[in-house]
Structure 1
Amino acid sequence: MNLDRKSGVPYYIQLKEQIRRRITQGVWTAGTKLPTERELSESLSLSRNTVSQAYKELESEGILSSVRGRGTFVEDTLLIMQQEGRKEKVLRIVDVAMEEAVGLGFTIDDFVSFVHVRGMEKKALLSRRKVVFIVDNPEQLSEAHWNLGPGVSLLPFLLSELQGSPRVQERLAGMDMAVTGENNLAEVKVLLDKVGIPILGISLQPKLETIVRIAKLTVGRELALVCESYQFAEIVKLALKQAGLRPTFKTLVQPNEDNLRKVLLECGAVIVAPKFRRRVEKVLPEHMECIEFRFEPDAGSLNLLRGTLLELKEEKI
């Protein structure tokens, strides 16, 4: 890879595009392990933070995936091909806008300046946006790490706290938007009726990598499911059923170490809510697979949320 040190384009963006290009050209296929952040930063004379930012953004877009202790991999070449198609559509829109600007007597340099200034204005407005993510189980309080744009604050909030406290509802009046799962949308709308902020229902789904790893497990042995609430356990089982998977579980809700150790010896693998991973790994039998069960918004929901945040700006400022 070669970066243009004089272009003015941030290095992490150049790096992202070069990784994309290698994938679209078939140099890196699905499942390919990428160089570590350290290896790539040394070979390109970049800071590790620059490489990390490029990797994280591609991961948030579903193009790369990171597996703790194993590395970073190409996730889905079909997805990036679809994104390239959307990029071409955007470029056509830019072409039309540029032609309109030139037709009105502006130069191409004028057009580039207009786009840059408006883009900076939008980024500045976006950086002040605050979104509350209302969830109905405690496991998902730590899951709100979505790429909504630079500076956007995403505050996870437990639905049960909202149900019994008008004061809590008043605190949310300072937020710009509330987001919740589609199954909680009707209730959240009632609870926040007097708060006066937009409310968006989104579709949350298990990470594809999670489903694939569970599907590859040896059939015939029970799985341990370690979580904080029975509600989350039911959500996990329903998500697996919808994916065509029907493993049998030993469910452990907030288990103590002795009970956890005993049950794990009887199971073929363990599925954990992310916050329990470290606790489980302390007593994990050798060679037993430990799979975090993570949820994330689907691509359509994320794009809708990003677009809605941009639309809010002109109304609220």
Structure 2
Amino acid sequence: MNRTVIRKNGIPLYVQVKDKVISDIRAGIYQSGDKLPTERELSAMIGVSRNTISQAYHELEHEGVIASAQGRGTFVCDRDDKVRLGNRRDLLQKVIDVALEECLQLGFTLDDFLQFASSRAKEKATLLDQSQIVFIECNREQVEYFSRKLEFGGVHITPVIIDELRDQERDALLQVESADLIMTTFFHFEEVRELLGDTRSVLAVSLDPELETIVKIARIPVHSEVGIVCRSERFAGKIRSALRQAGLDGYILRMTTTSDMQELSQFVKGLQAVIVSPSRKREVEKAIASHQSVIEFVFRPDAASVNLLRAAVADVRRKR
């Protein structure tokens, strides 16, 4: 693998790592089924942080380029280039074709398969619809946004702030007690487990910045003055951390949580761009000048976390 990454060229480091892995696969250096270097090994080879490698691997797994197996490592997916670049619909069709072949070999008809599959899908939908999930995070804007992003198939996710658990607030405790499943991010996993004790299991999910968000920020000239507008200092801290991990730490960052429009208008004056949390975008757009850009900083759960959540929800409902 080419071990050189170019810093401060406007392209996030993890995007460069992704491109290098894909390039090596296309060149035949890594072939279908080959094991890739661990995050630690690749970090040492290229000279970037493990967080950068982890982010690149997360994106590659989401796009179907690689697959990870717990305890075994990370491997190149055994698929052609078109599927490898993210054509999940083709992959699903292959799964269905295999199931159809098994169905026929067992002596069932195609009509039987259609009936069974439809019935099973409805059962799964009912299980998901009846599930109550609590998502615990450290600030209101992030937990509410993530809860909406993680909802699927009729599942309702109730947001709970971690401070509400620390303070033993009654509503938060009741929501946790009645939940079928409790989830949080890896960042707060240990603390949530300590607060809840051994009586409840907790599912941790990984949340990454959307690639589109990072690309937009990377287009801002280095050393520009850039504002961060959100509702909490904690969320601003997560934005700063994500920018550092992506190698976008060459800006002069200003931050505010004010909701006063006059103060906000004064804050954005002279800034090259303003990075906003999803809940602040509209009001910031009213305060900026026409030449300034507003970039919504969006985190999203990775595909592996969503799939894990779906499986966990169905399993919990089945046991109960």
**Shared topology, TM-score over 0.5?**
yes
| Aligned residue runs from structure 1 range 190-269, under 5 A | 190-193=194-197, 196=200, 198-246=201-249, 247-269=251-273
Give CA deviations for 1:103-129 in whole Å, capped at 9, x if unaligned.
333222112211111111111111111
Query: Which gives a bigger RCO, structure 1 or 2 (Cα 8 Å, sep 6+)?
Result: 2
Q: Distance in 1 between matches of 2:260 and 2:83?
A: 43
For residue 287 of structure 2, what is the aligned residue in structure 1?
283
Identity of aligned residues (%): 35
Contact map agreement 1:229 1:254 (CA 8 A) in 2: no
Question: Aligned AA for 1:123?
Answer: A
Change in Cα spacing, 1:97 to 1:302, as seen in structure 2 (3 Å) is same
Question: Aligned AA for 1:256?
Answer: D
Q: Distance in 2 between matches of 1:313 and 1:208?
A: 34
Q: Secondary structure at the match of 2:224?
A: coil
Question: Aligned AA for 2:246?
Answer: A
For residue 49 of structure 1, what is the aligned residue in structure 2?
none
* Correspondence 1:140 to 2:142: yes
Change in Cα spacing, 1:88 to 1:202, as seen in structure 2 (3 Å) is same
* Correspondence 1:184 to 2:188: yes
Unmatched 5+ stretches in structure 2: 1-61, 64-80
Contact map agreement 2:137 2:143 (CA 8 A) in 1: yes
Contact map agreement 1:130 1:154 (CA 8 A) in 2: yes
Change in Cα spacing, 1:155 to 1:171, as seen in structure 2 (3 Å) is closer
Question: Aligned AA for 2:142?
Answer: Q
- TM normalised by structure 2 equals 0.68
Contact map agreement 1:126 1:151 (CA 8 A) in 2: yes
Contact map agreement 2:258 2:264 (CA 8 A) in 1: no
Change in Cα spacing, 1:254 to 1:112, as seen in structure 2 (3 Å) is same
Q: Secondary structure at the match of 1:145?
A: helix
Aligned length: 239
Q: Secondary structure at the match of 1:170?
A: helix
For residue 130 of structure 2, what is the aligned residue in structure 1?
128
CA positional deviation for 1:153: 0.4
* Correspondence 1:158 to 2:161: yes
Q: Distance in 1 between matches of 2:241 and 2:82?
A: 25
CA positional deviation for 1:200: 0.8
Change in Cα spacing, 1:209 to 1:312, as seen in structure 2 (3 Å) is same
Contact map agreement 1:170 1:195 (CA 8 A) in 2: no
For residue 18 of structure 2, what is the aligned residue in structure 1?
none
CA positional deviation for 1:195: 5.4
Q: Which of the numbers 301, 308, 311 marks the counterpart of 1:307? A: 311
Contact map agreement 2:83 2:90 (CA 8 A) in 1: no
Question: Aligned AA for 2:244?
Answer: K
CA positional deviation for 1:213: 0.7
Q: Secondary structure at the match of 1:150?
A: coil
- TM normalised by structure 1 equals 0.68
Q: Distance in 2 between matches of 1:250 and 1:147?
A: 30
Q: Distance in 2 between matches of 1:183 and 1:79?
A: 35
Q: Distance in 2 between matches of 1:195 and 1:141?
A: 23
Contact map agreement 1:272 1:291 (CA 8 A) in 2: yes
Q: Secondary structure at the match of 1:192?
A: helix
CA positional deviation for 1:274: 1.8
Question: Aligned AA for 1:311?
Answer: D
Question: Aligned AA for 1:279?
Answer: E
Change in Cα spacing, 1:280 to 1:89, as seen in structure 2 (3 Å) is closer
Change in Cα spacing, 1:270 to 1:115, as seen in structure 2 (3 Å) is same
Change in Cα spacing, 1:200 to 1:161, as seen in structure 2 (3 Å) is same
Bigger drift between 99-108 and 137-146 goes to: 99-108
Q: Distance in 2 between matches of 1:211 and 1:169?
A: 37
Q: Distance in 2 between matches of 1:82 and 1:192?
A: 41
Q: Distance in 1 between matches of 2:235 and 2:83?
A: 32
Contact map agreement 2:134 2:175 (CA 8 A) in 1: no
